[in-house]
Structure 1
Amino acid sequence: MTRTHLVTGAGSGIGAAVADRLHERGDALCLLARGDERADDLRRRFPGATVLVVDLADPAAVGALTGLPDRLDSVLHVAGVVDLSPVADLPLAQLRSQLDVNLVAPALLSRAALRAVRRARGTFVFVNSSAGLTAGPMWAAYAASKFGLRAFADALRAEEVEHGVRVTTVFPSRTATPMQEKVHEQEGRVYDPAHWIQPGTVAGTILHVLDLPADATIPEVTVRPVVPRPAS
């Protein structure tokens, strides 16, 4: 039976890398796009994929989403947004958008997809961040959303084990993606993708989780770069 995966964030970075790998091996994809233009791009890149349009920053739209497959071997929550700001200057819109995209949307999508994942005794993968383990200056909103995502995954794991559903949180450190380039710009630092984990490396970790035999699970895995972090 062909395996079917729901993937968010497949337009770039880690999401694109893992969707590429799944598509290349013949698995079926259901991809979410925030608008029609991105949806068209995904259909061209992943022929045969089901592409649904929904803005993850709009909880009402996410909650009303229809068209998900009846059976899902995995749900891969990869999409995310980041904006750095000290708490003293944190705009409400930035706080709200990071919570909505990084935490609320995965929670609502997980609820919507739960019966389909139960049918397949499938796996939820939450791509978190090292910021979901420790929070530094300027990272309050993003880290809060990721700490919350870890808690949500922990609760889901405990609830669904009796249904044979596995739940894994992946904590990548800085990865060479467009998001990381944006972070460097906000930090005022020079961006060199060679210093950071490559998206394909994280994608390989996710596939390892998905391909585990049924007798095992990996609740959490942290992925860190080998090279030292540059000073500037």
Structure 2
Amino acid sequence: MSSSPVALITGASRGIGRAIADELGTTHHLLLGGRDLTALAELSSSFPSAEPFAAELRDSGQVAAAVAGIPRLDVLVHSAGVLRMGSVAELSDDAWRESFEVNVFAVASLTRVLLPALRAAGGQVVTINSGSGYSSGAGSAAYSGTKFALRALTDALREEERGHGVRVSSIHPGRVATDMQEELHAWEGRDYRPEAWIQPDQVARAVRLAVDATRESTIETLSIRPSGIALA
């Protein structure tokens, strides 16, 4: 593994995760998280120093195999997630289960198995949360529920790890111009204009701010919202 600091980014193949990879790839050896090994290997070749981290995060066996060769880890960025919209009256048990398994349980599980490597490096955990981690509305009970839970998980982890030298940051972007946002607009029946929303690289720069904070400080929570300024 490279002598550069090491950053593992889940959901690294697209959207916010890919933007974070582009941002940290200039200074870190990247472990690019996702499920498609072939696609991740191809993506890895586009960075100065990177390799795939291929695993279904809900499969403890795959996760254990993937982390086995990581003795130390400087940055763990949780960016993988799913969006399941619908009212409480219509969402299926499977939709609820998948939402919490991907957005919360997988985060807790991967963090737990990587804490020894993070502690060894005096590392950092960054969770990509959402504005939905603070408020909810009609149709967003499942997604917001997971993001409220992720905020609680992150807050608890931060307090637990202070004595172990691991810093924990929570980034809360509002609507970001990604495939997920396009899907959300389709569900809402609204026209989608990606230029009207936060760009993924802006979220990546927020992660950079947290990662580059000097050791005596922590960016604990950072909220990013669309400005509402009309763009030409």
Q: TM-score, normalised by structure 2?
A: 0.92
- Corresponding residue pairs, total: 229
Once the two structures are overlaid, the 10-residue window that deviates more, 193-202 or 44-53, is: 44-53
1:7 matched residue in structure 2: 9
Distance in 2, matches of 1:193 and 1:48, equals 30
Code of the residue aligned with 2:155 in structure 1: it is D
Q: TM-score, normalised by structure 1?
A: 0.92
Paired residues for 1:23-34 under 5 Å? 23=25, 25-34=26-35
1:161 matched residue in structure 2: 162
Q: Judging changes above 3 Å, is the alpha-carbon distance between structure 1 residues 38 and 208 closer, same or farther for their aligned structure 2 residues?
A: same
The alpha-carbon deviation at position 68 of structure 1 amounts to 4.6
Match of 1:79, SS state, is coil
Distance in 2, matches of 1:102 and 1:228, equals 31
Paired residues for 1:1-232 under 5 Å? 2-23=4-25, 25-46=26-47, 48-58=49-59, 61-62=62-63, 65-227=66-228
- Is the 1:30–1:68 Cα contact (8 Å) retained in structure 2? no
5+ residue gaps, structure 2, are none
Q: Judging changes above 3 Å, is the alpha-carbon distance between structure 1 residues 114 and 193 closer, same or farther for their aligned structure 2 residues?
A: same
The alpha-carbon deviation at position 64 of structure 1 amounts to 5.7
5+ residue gaps, structure 1, are none
Runs of 4+ in structure 1 over 6 Å off:
none
Distance in 2, matches of 1:42 and 1:59, equals 24
- Is the 2:40–2:51 Cα contact (8 Å) retained in structure 1? no
The alpha-carbon deviation at position 51 of structure 1 amounts to 0.9
The alpha-carbon deviation at position 95 of structure 1 amounts to 1.1
For residues 32-82 of structure 1, what are the alpha-carbon distances to aligned partners after superposition, in whole Å with 9 as ceiling and x for unaligned?
221234323433333642212212344564466433521111100011110
Match of 1:167, SS state, is strand
Match of 1:87, SS state, is coil
- Is the 2:67–2:114 Cα contact (8 Å) retained in structure 1? no
Match of 2:45, SS state, is helix
Match of 2:163, SS state, is helix
Code of the residue aligned with 2:14 in structure 1: it is S
- Is the 1:33–1:53 Cα contact (8 Å) retained in structure 2? yes
Distance in 2, matches of 1:185 and 1:57, equals 27
Backbone CA RMSD of aligned residues: 1.9
Distance in 2, matches of 1:84 and 1:60, equals 29
- Is the 1:4–1:73 Cα contact (8 Å) retained in structure 2? yes
The alpha-carbon deviation at position 228 of structure 1 amounts to 5.4
The alpha-carbon deviation at position 136 of structure 1 amounts to 0.7
Match of 1:124, SS state, is strand
Distance in 2, matches of 1:89 and 1:218, equals 38
Code of the residue aligned with 2:153 in structure 1: it is F
Match of 2:67, SS state, is coil
The alpha-carbon deviation at position 21 of structure 1 amounts to 1.5
Distance in 2, matches of 1:87 and 1:60, equals 32
